[in-house]
Amino acid sequence: MSDNKIIRLSQAPAKFGDSPDELEPSMFVSDLPVQNSHSYYEDDEQGLYVGVWDTDDMIEAANPYPCDEFMVLIEGAVEIKNTQTGLSETVLAGESFVIPKGYDCQWHQQGYLRKFYVISEHPDEVIPLRPTLTGIAKINIETQKGKNYCYQDNNKRFTAGIRENAIGEMPLTMNINSHFIYLKKGSVTIKESTGTEHTFRSGEAFYIPANVTCSWSITENTLQHYVEISPLLAD
């Protein structure tokens, strides 16, 4: 497991691209692309992985998606095709979306793409025969009345959405769940119980692992694209 502290993500980590990912031809119906990954957080017991990834042109093999994955496109665009219906959905740079676990789809990539990713793939959870959605879930302001989320998995452990927070203070609190936040606008300073402070501004991303105690000071109204993941407890 990675360190239990607030993690700031960079769009261009140091030495990113120096050691391309090892890829198998069976993963693609196109020629092998060049892909790079930088991991910021890994928890094999919970199946949680957070980082930055890029790719050039490629078409992945069509399969049910093996995980719930939230993504923020930093650069480029992507087309996700429904294998059963042929329907394609496009996501552009600056947008966030989720591919639901079990969604039978195919990634079509033209041109360079870079993204932040949050993967939930707990080893004890099987791929559902019927995913929550039969398409991707784009994170946008048009959420359901009374809710601020756009996607929630079958087990209600993985929730992704959008929320707004006004200027104000939030007291020191332990986060039972883990949180990934991409700040679309605004600014916030978060202070850990150790005294370490982090200030985040529009366009920045950060991850708060479960059981981190911290307080918030929102200095400019924020709009956040977020993922919240609750731990799967042992029996």
Do 15 and 128 belong to one domain?
A: yes
For residue 190, pLDDT beyond 70: yes
Banded pLDDT at 1 (limits 50, 70, 90): low
For residue 73, pLDDT beyond 80: yes
What pLDDT score does 147 carry? 65
Domain of 191, in residue numbers:
160-229
Q: What is the mean pLDDT of residues 194-201?
A: 97
In a domain, 36, yes or no: yes
Do 132 and 89 belong to one domain?
A: yes
Banded pLDDT at 101 (limits 50, 70, 90): very high
pLDDT digits (tens, 9 = 90+) for 10-43: 999 999 999 999 999 999 999 999 999 999 999 9
In a domain, 149, yes or no: no
Do 93 and 40 belong to one domain?
A: yes
Percentage with pLDDT > 70 across the chain: 94
What pLDDT score does 234 carry? 59
Number of domains forming the structure of the chain: 2
| Average pLDDT of the residues of the chain | 93
What pLDDT score does 2 carry? 62
Banded pLDDT at 5 (limits 50, 70, 90): very high
* 3-state SS, one letter per residue, for the chain: CCCCCCEEECCCCCCCCCCCCCCCHHHECCCCCCEEEEEEEEECCCCEEEEEEEECCEEECCEECCCEEEEEEEECEEEEEECCCCCEEEEECCCEEEECCCCEEEEEECCCEEEEEEEECCCCCCCCCCCCCCCCEECCCCCCCCCCEEEECCCCCEEEEEEEECCEEEEEEECCCEEEEEEEEEEEEEEECCCCEEEEECCCEEEECCCCEEEEEEEEEEEEEEEEECCCCCC
What pLDDT score does 232 carry? 82
Do 129 and 212 belong to one domain?
A: no
In a domain, 85, yes or no: yes
* CATH number of the domain bearing residue 35: 2.60.120.10
Q: Is 147 exposed, middle or buried (0-12, 13-18, 19+ CB in 10 A)?
A: exposed
Cα–Cα distance measured from residue 92 to residue 141, given in angstroms and rounded to the nearest whole number: 16
In a domain, 214, yes or no: yes
In a domain, 234, yes or no: no
Do 129 and 91 belong to one domain?
A: yes
Do 171 and 219 belong to one domain?
A: yes
pLDDT digits (tens, 9 = 90+) for 138-165: 998 654 445 688 999 988 999 999 999 9
